[in-house]
Structure 1
Amino acid sequence: MPALAAFSEAVAALKQGRGLDAVPLLEAALVAEPEHALARLNLGMALMDIGRLDSCEPHLQEAAAALPHMAEPQFRLGRLAHLRGDLAAARQGYEAALLRRGDHVPALAGLGVVEQAEGRPLQAEALLREALLHAPGDSSVMLELARSRMSRGEHLQALEEIEAVLEREPEHGQAGLLWTDALVQAHGHAAARERMERAIAADPFGAARVAGLAAMLDGCGAPSEALAQWRLAEALAPQDGQILSGLGHALWRQRSYQEARAVFERAVAILPQDRKIRVALGEQLFRTHRLAEAAETLRRAMRELGPDYRGNATLALVEVAQGLQDQALGACEAAGGENELLLRLCSLGPYHDELSRPLELRAVADRLHAGLSTDLLPYQAPARAGRERLRIGLLSAHFGTHPVGWLTLPGIEALPREEMELVILSLGDREGPLARRFRERADRWIAINPGITERGLVDMLRAEEFDILIDLGGHGHGGRVRALRHRCAPVQIKWVGSQSATTGVPNVDWMLTDRWETPAGFEAQYTERLLRLPDGYVCYLPPPHAPEVGPAPILARGHVTFGCFNNLAKVTPGLLACWERIMRALPDARLVLRTHALGDAPTRAAFEARAGEAGLPMDRVEMHSALPHGELLAAYGGIDISLDPFPYNGGLTVCESLWMGVPVLARIGEHFAGRHAFSHLSNVGLADWAEADEQGYVRQAIRRAADPAALAALRAGLRARVAASPLCDGPRFGAGLAEALRRAWSERPGKG
């Protein structure tokens, strides 16, 4: 196709909003005529508009050089810098565009936004008003002007400008969200909601106002109501990217990750230049175990739009989940600040062969502790007049089929009702048999909006006047232990739920533990005091749907089958090296791996390559994705020995393996997460299955595999042994827990 014809057809496509169709036409025009400057400019613009920001910049730079008197290339380069967070380069581009054309409205507006971001609202408003002189009624400019007014407290004037936009564009989602903010600032939540509902009643098909109501409901702690309104707004304006983003986040909060991912995919297609939406898509891909795609989505978003602390933090989590512990360190460092410390302490450090050393973790915890010790809210312990029972709060997002549920419920149920009033504070709606049992044991159940602010959560917790507050979420997904730094109860305790090391949180007084997890001498690893229970630090609830224990596979197969059903995050280079030595010494042995990450084809292929490079005989290694819980338990029927990972041990997986008759071989680590298996094995009388070093781990695997009769005998009686042990003895555990809580109360800070 001749250059002129291709260019003309491309321009027509661009005018119709068909950027994807325009790109190949413009590329063809440039092949035919490489010096076609307008084709070069339009190609850069088209690539920018469809979100291919890594490809558009060279074309825009060439166009700027070839068309020195045109404003548009300069504006586009400024806009690209602005999207990447480089305000100095953005200003340079906008000012260059205005030198060439003083009435360039987008450049005036862009420069106004830069002025606002740099703390000069009056200069910002002057530029925005000048833009409106050239483009009266431009919605984007009017909304930026409203934002500037709100920053100076002129909420009623801002409302007038937002209302004018909504009158013309009732489906403008961003206007609806800004409308809500202005109403709340001007009139308070209650009056704002009344006004919003009246406006929606007058115009029930105005998607923007419905979205505004949804956002308010989200902020007020009514997630179910909010989701219904987000769905309505999306039905009224299915092509509004901001409304789709709101719906996606609402679904995310409800843990509807698959649906949220699909919604964010639509939002990204509409708003490819919105970094937050693209990072949110990466987070949903992570939640749905599409790990390689998640990593690429996050990397591309930050490559094209500049670094993002949340994007880097999520990327670090994704890479850890892929078993790329060393690689994740780069994203961890790029996240910076408190995010980096939390990743090092909880999400990367305990899984890393080097960073998991106790002194490394404590050093990170001390830095976190120092940062969290500033601007603490004053605390006054509540009066206890007339109260006989200890009022105990349990805070978590995981009161259900989660390790928190399986490892705490029997002990919590056994706490003495006559002495202890239990209030469960759930940061996420939970259904199912375990959640119902938690509700039945609780004296009160309080559902908390997961999106509640830290100050809001502190105020809520303090209003309950707890004697003891126990966190079961830590710094993990959905956890809010950070809020406890302000002290919300006279005694604050950390237990289970992302309990991999010390929390580093000021005013968390105790860590619930046991003598195997934290023997004497381990105190220096923790910012908390160690509250040791008489047996293990958890009490396992065997699932009622677990199948019966089958015969030892080694008897029928004639060779041992090892297994590891832990997350790929726990499979480190050091662990692979040990597995290689075991498999080399046992040429008939097989190893079965099963976890979510192996269901992601690129992640699986990359892991297979790493394991092969480590020397594992991949023809004798089976790799499988995760299964529904009942089927996962049944899969232990094909395993003779579970090879526990290190430096981060299995926790619930150890209990499940033992319940299914499969002994667990473990290496005893030096930090909390590295001693889970040792604790559980000791609690059932199998401490001799835990080794102090890698050499012992390898030797014992080889030795145990050489005695099929002993394996079969142990398997046959293992479930009964576990059932009769303290690991599953709820009343015994509850008595020990109650005594520990009494001790913590008697030694509370400031007593006396």
Structure 2
Amino acid sequence: MYEFIRPFFQFYDKESFEVYAYSLAKEPDDCTNWFKQMADGWRELSPYTPELTAKQIWEDEIDILFDLAGHTADTGLPALAWKPAPVQISGLGYMTTTGLSAVDYFLTDEFMDPPGEHEEDFVEKLLHVKSQLCYKSLTDNLPQSSTAPCRERGWVLFGAFNGYHKITDEMLFAWKRILDEVPASKILFKCQVFFAPSMKLAAYNRFKRIGFEMNRVILEPATREYMNRYLDVDIALDTYPYPGGGTTCDALYMGVPVISRYSDRHSTRFAYSILQNVGVGELATDSLEGYIERAVAVAKDWDLLEYLHRNLRSMMEKSPVMDAKGYMREIEARYREIWERWLEQK
């Protein structure tokens, strides 16, 4: 989430807005320290109850409160039920409605939630921007892909860097079919849980039961240098029904095309929205068979792979997904709109 929250602290209009941050982090780290330095006001609230959290927000006289976590672990969402700010928004960190009538708006975009199609799925009013998120890589000065690795290696390496808990058997069967259709190809799983030998063994046995040829499967733990590992990957395979957000952006930034699947559900459309905004929406499909066919077709078109590896970063940098200043001007325009609306209703 750090890469998506940075614009709210780094590029806001300091002449028109003040930003107060309410941290629920139990142990501060480099990220929280950076946010603390950038904010106009900083509150450490991790030992607080929701009621005391709401009281602090109320005392700070916050006009617009933006929840970035939704129904995730150790969230501050219950504090919003007290309505400590006159206007409250949620978005970015969770894949669906808060279910709280006290939350007024939910941040989204037209690819996540086409206007007029998903309103009934949300308690909140939908607040549309060009791209619901804006990405900034966690690491500066990363090397850029110059070609598809398969050109030099002679075979295609697929990558799945999403959290292991997102990998369903349905997708594993799909990925096996893709490997079967692309001779000599392999798949690299890079997941945090593989630091534990027991989890690595459990995954090995699971993939073997699915029918994978295990000499074509690579299991690696996630590392701080994992971005550089993308330089060895030809194509990233996204998970479903919970696709990647940060991992999708990481892959594209490193020049790796991402094959994704989506449906009508908001929670399935994160990668679809990113791909559409970057200009490669054709890499996403709304069916399992389409997903398999798209992955196989791209894997067999090495000219296309080379083009994407060389150009995806620049395409991404020119898109709404990385236009941090434009993103914040659009967000702030929405702030003004919903604040004026509140004043009129008041």
TM-score (norm: length of structure 1): 0.44
For 1:554 and 1:613, the matched residues in 2 are separated by 28
Q: Any conservation in 1 of the 2:51–2:82 contact (CA below 8 Å)? A: no
Which one of 193, 197, 200 corresponds to residue 597 of structure 1? 193
> Is 1:406 paired with 2:3?
yes
| SS, match of residue 677 in structure 1 | helix
Which one of 656, 669, 674 corresponds to residue 250 of structure 2? 656
Q: Any conservation in 1 of the 2:144–2:255 contact (CA below 8 Å)? A: no
What residue number does 1:569 align with? 165
Q: Any conservation in 1 of the 2:100–2:123 contact (CA below 8 Å)? A: yes
| SS, match of residue 342 in structure 2 | coil
What residue number does 1:418 align with? 15
For 1:673 and 1:412, the matched residues in 2 are separated by 26
What residue number does 2:28 align with? 430
Which one of 493, 515, 531 corresponds to residue 89 of structure 2? 493
Which one of 285, 310, 317 corresponds to residue 723 of structure 1? 317
Matching of residues 536-551 of structure 1 within 5 Å: 536-542=131-137, 543-551=139-147
In the TM superposition, what whole-angstrom CA distance separates every residue of 1:279-337 from its partner, at most 9, and x where no partner exists? Answer: xxxxxxxxxxxxxxxxxxxxxxxxxxxxxxxxxxxxxxxxxxxxxxxxxxxxxxxxxxx
> Is 1:676 paired with 2:273?
no
Of structures 1 and 2, the one scoring higher in RCO (CA 8 A, sep 6+) is 2
Cα shift at 1:635: 0.5
What residue number does 2:111 align with? 516
Cα shift at 1:550: 4.7
What residue number does 1:446 align with? 43
Q: Any conservation in 2 of the 1:490–1:749 contact (CA below 8 Å)? A: no
Letter in 2 for 1:539: C
Which one of 135, 155, 159 corresponds to residue 559 of structure 1? 155
For 2:342 and 2:282, the matched residues in 1 are separated by 38
Cα shift at 1:435: 4.1
Q: Structure 1 residues 658, 597: closer, same or farther in 2, change over 3 A?
A: same
Q: Any conservation in 2 of the 1:501–1:671 contact (CA below 8 Å)? A: no
Q: Any conservation in 2 of the 1:646–1:669 contact (CA below 8 Å)? A: no
Matching of residues 71-150 of structure 1 within 5 Å: none
| Larger of the two Rg values belongs to structure | 1
For 1:568 and 1:616, the matched residues in 2 are separated by 17
Cα shift at 1:742: 1.4
Letter in 1 for 2:28: R
What residue number does 2:74 align with? 478
> Is 1:622 paired with 2:221?
no
Letter in 1 for 2:339: W
Q: Structure 1 residues 546, 477: closer, same or farther in 2, change over 3 A?
A: farther
Cα shift at 1:626: 1.2
What residue number does 1:248 align with? none
Matching of residues 600-615 of structure 1 within 5 Å: 600-615=196-211
Letter in 2 for 1:598: F
Letter in 2 for 1:478: D
Moved over 3 A (4+): 434-437
Q: Any conservation in 2 of the 1:424–1:446 contact (CA below 8 Å)? A: yes
Q: Structure 1 residues 671, 412: closer, same or farther in 2, change over 3 A?
A: farther
Matching of residues 259-270 of structure 1 within 5 Å: none
What residue number does 1:104 align with? none
For 2:192 and 2:92, the matched residues in 1 are separated by 22
> Is 1:690 paired with 2:287?
no
RMSD: 1.7
Matching of residues 300-315 of structure 1 within 5 Å: none
What residue number does 2:54 align with? 458
For 2:211 and 2:120, the matched residues in 1 are separated by 38
Q: Any conservation in 2 of the 1:578–1:698 contact (CA below 8 Å)? A: yes
For 2:38 and 2:52, the matched residues in 1 are separated by 26
For 1:431 and 1:623, the matched residues in 2 are separated by 28
Letter in 2 for 1:739: A
What residue number does 1:732 align with? 326
| SS, match of residue 725 in structure 1 | coil
Which one of 97, 100, 105 corresponds to residue 502 of structure 1? 97
Letter in 2 for 1:418: E
Higher strand share goes to which structure? Answer: 2
Q: Any conservation in 2 of the 1:667–1:697 contact (CA below 8 Å)? A: yes
Cα shift at 1:722: 1.3
For 2:208 and 2:267, the matched residues in 1 are separated by 27
For 1:527 and 1:430, the matched residues in 2 are separated by 33
In the TM superposition, what whole-angstrom CA distance separates every residue of 1:244-293 from its partner, at most 9, and x where no partner exists? Answer: xxxxxxxxxxxxxxxxxxxxxxxxxxxxxxxxxxxxxxxxxxxxxxxxxx
For 1:653 and 1:420, the matched residues in 2 are separated by 31
Could you list the runs of 5+ residues in structure 1 that have no partner in the other structure? 1-402
For 2:343 and 2:67, the matched residues in 1 are separated by 18
Letter in 1 for 2:114: P
For 1:577 and 1:671, the matched residues in 2 are separated by 22
Letter in 2 for 1:740: R
Moved more, 537-546 or 642-651: 537-546
Q: Structure 1 residues 436, 457: closer, same or farther in 2, change over 3 A?
A: closer
Which one of 646, 661, 669 corresponds to residue 240 of structure 2? 646
Higher helix share goes to which structure? Answer: 1
Matching of residues 207-356 of structure 1 within 5 Å: none
Which one of 119, 125, 146 corresponds to residue 529 of structure 1? 125
In the TM superposition, what whole-angstrom CA distance separates every residue of 1:531-584 from its partner, at most 9, and x where no partner exists? Answer: 111x11111112215333253211012111100111111100111121121111
Cα shift at 1:436: 5.0
In the TM superposition, what whole-angstrom CA distance separates every residue of 1:89-146 from its partner, at most 9, and x where no partner exists? Answer: xxxxxxxxxxxxxxxxxxxxxxxxxxxxxxxxxxxxxxxxxxxxxxxxxxxxxxxxxx
Q: Structure 1 residues 670, 749: closer, same or farther in 2, change over 3 A?
A: farther
